[in-house]
Structure 1
Amino acid sequence: MRPFARTCLLLLMMATTGAGTPSGTVVNDSAALQRLYTNSGVTLHYISFETPGRGQLDVRLANGFVHLKGMHRAIGEPGLLTIEGDVLAIDARSFTFRGRIVIADTPDPGRRCIRDGVFHFRQTGVRRYWRMQEMERCDGLTDYVDIFL
């Protein structure tokens, strides 16, 4: 399906109910949604943020929501990021994500940070990625999770 047709179909499928409860992803900017669909990977800065070292991020429609599922694994050493959940809303430079983010064995072996909830990803300035805004959680460390355009 052509990108424009896919975006139009998504917009039609992502209406809200009369009660104001989202029945799918709220799309406020179709161009941003298209950028998310054509992303160039997900990263955790402890592992790598270079293009060949980026992880994969699959984006698909599931039950009316834009669903993200991805992984970034260190090559030849411990270190793993997994992300899975739904995009609740997307705007021109940000989106809201509800799901699970797991960071394991990085930056130190044995570390395990499991985060469930709602997270905000934002693109600022001229950056070519969305960065998770809730960066501090486990062990007092700052975790930069980025999704590249």
Structure 2
Amino acid sequence: MKKVFAFIVILAGLVQSGFAQDKRQLREGTHNFTLQWISWDQPGKVQIKKNSDGTYKVSGKQTGKGGDFVTIDGTLTVVTFSEMTFNGRIETRYSGVNNGEVCRKEGTYHFLAKGARKYWRLQEMDNCEGNHVVDYVDIFF
């Protein structure tokens, strides 16, 4: 019993000292990336790399049939592990939405991971078409 208690005390100290993973850290490397109109089963890829200022460069795409695609290029700032601010450009194109025209979003946007989801979802979901059409743009952990 004393050994278990000692282990818990040591572990608690490591967490408080910051030795445990910082929830503001984002895993660098390749992440899955999807737009629901294209496919959740055949994700695209994004590359995430930490910048010297603590933000993260994100760039990548998912492509589908008939020229459908989603691209992302910009910078992520981690607010908490479940919340990130994105600054840059996201473009979507799906033949059955917005008359098949590209929907371009440039500026500052927000990604959130809610509940047990294993991805961050773009919160500004409205497609350029309007009419309550939304794009689910997801970056997976």
TM range (shorter): 0.7 to 0.9
CA deviation map 1:32-69 (0-9, x unaligned): 5334x25531100000112xx11110111345231100
CA deviation map 1:100-145 (0-9, x unaligned): 0011244346321011011110000101110000001401120110
Kindly report which structure 2 residues correspond to 1:1-149, keeping only aligned pairs within 5 A, or say none.
Answer: 30-31=22-23, 33-35=25-27, 37-38=28-29, 40-50=31-41, 53-62=42-51, 64=53, 65-74=55-64, 76-108=65-97, 110-140=100-130, 141-149=133-141
Q: Once the two structures are aligned, what percentage of the paired residues are identical? A: 31
Structure 1: segments with no counterpart, 5+ residues: 1-28
What is the CA–CA distance in structure 1 between the aligned matches of 2:49 and 2:96, rounded to whole Å? 30
What is the CA–CA distance in structure 2 between the aligned matches of 1:93 and 1:102, rounded to whole Å? 23
| TM-score using structure 1 length | 0.69
Aligned residues: 117
SS in 2 for 1:33: coil
Letter in 1 for 2:36: H
Kindly report structure 1 stretches of 4+ aligned residues shifted beyond 4 Å.
none
SS in 1 for 2:71: strand
Q: Is the 8 A contact 1:93 1:124 kept in 2?
A: yes
SS in 2 for 1:34: coil
Please state how far the C-alpha of 1:78 moved relative to its aligned partner.
Answer: 2.4
Q: Is the 8 A contact 1:42 1:57 kept in 2?
A: yes
SS in 1 for 2:26: helix
Structure 2: segments with no counterpart, 5+ residues: 1-20
2:16 alignment counterpart: none
What is the CA–CA distance in structure 2 between the aligned matches of 1:126 and 1:39, rounded to whole Å? 21
CA RMSD of aligned residues (A): 2.0
- The structure having more radius of gyration, on CA atoms, is 2
Q: Is the 8 A contact 1:45 1:144 kept in 2?
A: yes
